[in-house]
Amino acid sequence: MNTNDNVTDADREDRDTMFRLYQERGAMTDKELVAAGISVESQGRNAAAVAEMIRLHEMAEAA
């Protein structure tokens, strides 16, 4: 996984978009994310970070 030092602005934007889409629509397939403008390559780079964002968000909500 990329460290924060290696994350590009485009990846940060895609991560934010993927997280927002998850909040709005729930889990999405790779094809749905492509239709929403997130490339398969970006998904590969950023999916783990977004999953962590989701876990942390859900833990905070549960507390």
Render each residue's pLDDT in the chain as its tens digit; 63 residues: 445 668 999 999 999 999 999 999 999 999 999 999 999 999 999 999 999 999 999 999 998
Rounded Cα distance, 53 and 33, in Å: 17
Backbone CA torsion sign across 49, 53, 54, 59 = positive
Q: Give DSSP secondary structure letters for 1-62.
A: ---GGG--HHHHHHHHHHHHHHHHH-S--HHHHHHTT--HHHHHHHHHHHHHHHHHHHHHHH
pTM for this model (two decimals): 0.87
